[in-house]
Amino acid sequence: MQNKKLASLSVCTRCRQAAFSGPDNQRPGYRLAKTLHSQFSGSAAAGLGMSFRGVRCMSQCKRPCVVALSGPSKYTLVFGDLHPQTDAEAILELAEKYATTTNGFVERADRPEALRAGILGRIPPLNLDGDPIDPDFTILPAIDKDIL
């Protein structure tokens, strides 16, 4: 049974610049995923119960390399423009901070320098009520809110 408190670090393994024409295992996304994969087990984020997964495409092709942090009842954070050789440590540092939050929100000033820019999305969890959800533009079906 999956622990619903766990968060996950996802890394696009297919990310590349448009001009890149090399083999898949030389793509920048593959190289970033390989570096993170090799360091993840010993990271503080892994020690906090976070999981790691490679994703074959995260559809952010104009902003390679891409990672996302997600978890139940947490904001999903998506970052792009990451460098496969220099940003792995910063990504793992942010993953640790993310894992310790209750809602997944990590202020810009609290992120490592490499992740203060390049944020592609901050998606609220489905069960979030209140700010930043705008009730004037929210339509919910008549279901039990405990399902979310």
Q: What percent of the chain has pLDDT over 90?
A: 70
Q: What Rg value do the Cα atoms of the chain yield, rounded?
A: 16
- Residue 3 in any domain: the answer is no
Per-residue model confidence as pLDDT tens digits over 59-101: 998 899 999 999 999 999 999 999 999 999 999 999 999 999 9
Q: What is the pTM of this model?
A: 0.86
Q: At what angle do helices 28-40 and 88-100 cross, to 10 degrees?
A: 60
Structural domain count of the chain: 1
Residue 46 to residues 1, 20, 122, 142, 146: CA-CA distances in angstroms?
Answer: 18, 32, 22, 38, 29
Q: For residue 96, what pLDDT is reported?
A: 98
Q: What is the CATH number of the domain that holds 129?
A: 3.40.30.10
